[in-house]
Amino acid sequence: MFVIRPMQFNYPQHADDTEQQLIRLNHAIKEGGAQLQALVRNAPGGEVADILSMHEEMLADPELHHAATDAIREGRTAEAGWWEAIETAAHAQEMLADRLLAERAADLRDVGRRVLGVLCDVTLPEPPDHPYILVMDDIGPSDVARLDTSRVRGLLTVRGGATAHSAILARALGIPAVVGAGKSVMALNNASMMILDGERGRVTSQPSEQRLQRAEQQLLDHQQREADAWESRFEVAQTRDGHRVEVAANLGNTAHAADAVERGAEGVGLLRTEFYLWPTPARRI
C-alpha cells in the first residue's frame, strides 16, 4: 500500500505588506486555475473532467476572492486569508440540508489546498512504480486526475460516504474502494500488504498467506464473471421466470451516452445535473 498523509501547511497568520500579499494570492489563484485546466485536458474519463471543471468554477468564484481579499486587508497573510475564506464557505456548504450538496464542502477544501500548495510550495510525494492500494484522508478529483489507474489497485480513505466524490470517482474508474474507514487507517505503514474488499467494505491488513491466496482466487473469479457479462451485454435481460428488465445507465453528462450503449444500456435511468446546478454567482438555484 501507499499512504499519503495530509499535507502540512506552515505559514504566518499576519503580515503588514498588504499589497504584496494580494499579489501573491492572485498569482497562486492563476497558477491553480492553470493546473486545473491541464488536469481537465488529461482527465481519465468524463466523470473526473466534470468535477474538475466544477473546481474551476469554484476557484473563479468572486465571493471567495472578496472574502480572502478582505481578510488580507485586515492584516492576514495570503495563506491565512485564503484558507479562512475557504473554511467559511466550506462550513456553510456543510450546513445545507441536501446531503449531496453538503458533501461538496470537500471539493471547496480541495480547491483551497491547491492554491495553498502554490503559496507554500508544498507538493505531494511521488507514488511507487508498482501496483498499490492508495490510502489517504480523502481523495478529491485533482488527486484522481494524477493517478496512474494501471497501478492503483484500490482506494482507502479516512473520510467520505457513498455520495462523496471519492466513492463516485472510484466507481467511474472501476477501482475498488472503501471510504470513511476512520482515522486509524492513517497509521498503516507504506509497503505493507493489504486485502481491500470494495463490495463488502472490508480491509484486512497483513493477511496470512492462506487468506491472501483465497482473495486472489476470488479476484480471478470476479474478473471471469466480468468477462462473461461483457460477452452477453446485448442479450435481453430477464428474470428466470421470464420477467423483462430494462437496463438503464446513470450518466454524468450526455457525452457518456455512447459509452453506455456500448456497455449494453437500453436507456438513461439517471442523468446527474449536480454539475450544471452548482450554486455560483452566475448560476444560482
Predicted confidence (pLDDT) per residue in 218-230, tens digit: 889 988 998 999 9
| Of 275 and 82, the one with more pLDDT | 82
Does 148 reside within a domain? Answer: yes
- As a whole number, mean pLDDT of residues 52-67 equals 90
H/E stretch holding 133 reads strand 132-136
Work out the burial of residue 79: count CB atoms within 10 Å of its CB; fewer than 13 is exposed, 13-18 middle, 19 or more buried: buried
- State the chain's mean pLDDT as an integer: 85
- As a whole number, mean pLDDT of residues 86-112 equals 83
- Which range of residues forms the domain containing residue 245? 234-285
Does 225 reside within a domain? Answer: no
What are the grid coordinates assigned to 87, written together?
473554511
Residues 191 and 244 in one domain: no
In the predicted structure, residue 111 carries a pLDDT above the cut 80: yes
- Give yes or no for a contact between 35 and 110, defined as CB atoms under 8 angstroms apart: no
Q: What's residue 283's pLDDT?
A: 46
What are the grid coordinates assigned to 234, written together?
446485448
Q: What's residue 282's pLDDT?
A: 46
Three-state DSSP at 80 gives helix
Give the pLDDT band of residue 281 (cuts 50, 70, 90).
Answer: very low
Q: What's residue 141's pLDDT?
A: 66
pTM score, two decimals? 0.66
User: What gap in Å lies between CA 195 and CA 216, rounded to an integer?
Assistant: 9
| Of 45 and 177, the one with more pLDDT | 177
Instruction: Name, of 29-43, 140-154, 178-192, 232-246, the range with top average pLDDT.
Output: 232-246
Q: What's residue 125's pLDDT?
A: 79
How does DSSP assign 174-240, residue by residue? T--EE----GGGGGPPTT--EEEETTTTEEEES--HHHHHHHHHHHHHHHHHHHHHHHTTTSPPB-T
- 47-56, 166-175, 274-283: least confident range: 274-283
Does 160 reside within a domain? Answer: yes
Does 203 reside within a domain? Answer: yes
Q: What's residue 8's pLDDT?
A: 86
Which of 207, 225, 249 delimits the end of a domain? 207
| Of 65 and 124, the one with more pLDDT | 65
In the predicted structure, residue 139 carries a pLDDT above the cut 80: no
Residues 115 and 143 in one domain: no
How does DSSP assign 54-79, residue by residue? HHHHHHT-HHHHHHHHHHHHTTB-HH
Rounded to whole angstroms, what are the CA distances from 136 to 13, 131, 195, 211? 27, 16, 16, 25
CATH code assigned at 25: 1.10.274.10
